[in-house]
Structure 1
Amino acid sequence: MNALILLSNVFLLLLWMRLWRVGPHEFTFNPLLSGPSRLADAVIDFLRPVLIGLPSAWIAGLSLLFLLAFRGVLLCSAGADWQIVVGMGFGRVLGVGNWFDCTVFSITVFVVFLIRIWGLGFLIAVMTPARRPDRVAEAFAHFTRPFSLLPRLHMGLALVALNALLVIHLQHVGRPFTGSFPNGLAALPAALDWQQPVAAVVRLSWLTALSLTDSLHTAGGAMMGVVLASLLATITQNHGLQQLTRESVAFLLGGFSRRPVVIGLIDLTPLAYFFAMNILYGLATGLLRMLLAWSPAP
């Protein structure tokens, strides 16, 4: 189920990217953008006879909303609960059966996906002294629009605000997750009682910070995905994929790519990055879980 949701989010991201296209030839010269752009344009051209007279961006937006609703209805009929986990601290669960709630949950899952990749973009921006002109950086900047158009400081402020709004929104979506996460940690109560505003603001701060830490987990997962793609490229002797994975590793590492961890002929920098992100994620979530447990519960 998680893999299906991730793949659908990636496809929906193509339509989201199409919303922020500026010029007709903006994606022509980058192969990482031209292919996805043609796929999104094919969807738009297919719907153009139905949505006569609407601009391409409007068609892309309506298609995105329709597919989000369709995914909600489809997964609502799948017979399995749908979960959103934040910071390995709390989560929300949506039981099947209510199509409207499933649609809202589907939209929420996509918004969480956007916030996570935007968090990854901010993390890379912090670690990169100067903007890279390569094709991976250009493609990622387009996929993370409009967030990538912001100055670095505004990125951080927007990310904090978005995660705080996400935490507040999740209070009203689904029901609290009360089980244990895959790492064995129990879910913490995440309710906010605004009858006690000081305690609610404190808890909201810790919950927002927990949500922000998911950017570290996203970064580690992205690096592991690139490493696996690199192994596949080596096995299949696909030189194009090898070049792409090298550029992706350098992009994710940012300024740290200048200080590689090399033992003999083996570059361990990607694995060091992966373990570092997971260690930081574990330490941050552990500390925030402790602070959240100490804060007065409603």
Structure 2
Amino acid sequence: MSRSPLALAALATVAIPGLDAYDVRRPATTGSDFDVAVVVDSVRRRWVVRAPQHAGAGAALEAEVALLEALAPHVDEGRLPFVVPRPVGFAHLPEGGRACVHREVVGRPLRLETLRSGPGLAASVGRAVAAVHELPTAVVEDAGLPVYDAAGYRDRRQAEVDDAARTGLVPPTLLRRWEEMLEDVALWRFRPTVVHGDLTSARVLVADGAVAGILDWGGAMVADPADDLSALLVAAPEDAVDAILESYLLRRTELTDPHLADRAMLAGELALARWLLHGVRSGRRDVVDDAVEMLRDLDEHTRVDDEATAAL
């Protein structure tokens, strides 16, 4: 079911006794699994209310709440150099499950194209990601979120490639590239860490030239740290990529992973395969066409790069 902003504001007043809702609005972006609204109270404090649209989303929200509660001490004690949402109230839903309310995290979404080299925002991004990967894996395990070892995570990636291959829509040279990387055993020798799991620029909030907050922790797991770097390394300017990686590596205490960047780039490429599979499974022709076009562009780009490398 889909709830109106007014219905969500009513849930917020139930979740937070004494909250006097003055205004309510939809955020700029919302996911497909939750109804979300920003409620402004009578003293201009801003609250975010999230209500799951189905039982699966409700279970995911409960796991995310457990994780956020475990992350709070790491924020308070400075191990995480940014803030995370802090659930402060809940409202039971008629169909089961709960809506969750937290204070809005201050900041604007990260714009990767504006990053530059040096000790500024790019370095802050690297430190923030590294801090996530330094967290004890127990925070994820205790929340009931997925935990993978390196071999199991490689198998997961292989299954994605196999499913994408069965569509017949992935360029053969691109499939061979992915298969070769998946068969390279050395590439997949890594120590699994806590990962955010969906660390796009929209989830990273910036204020005063530094990372101020990270949102949407429902996809967190213990898995490949390269995943959290993939979207950043693919979209950021080249000189900013170096700054992100340098500050990331300086912040990590146990890192012997020479293939981290290679797996991060592969993860970025496989995101297109997942987009294709989403379009196929949901029957959305527009998504399929978009994915096919991006896969063709990627295939052409990688073939040009491979030819240039072979010529050296």
TM (normalized to structure 1)? 0.34
More helix by share: 1
| Structure number with higher strand proportion | 2
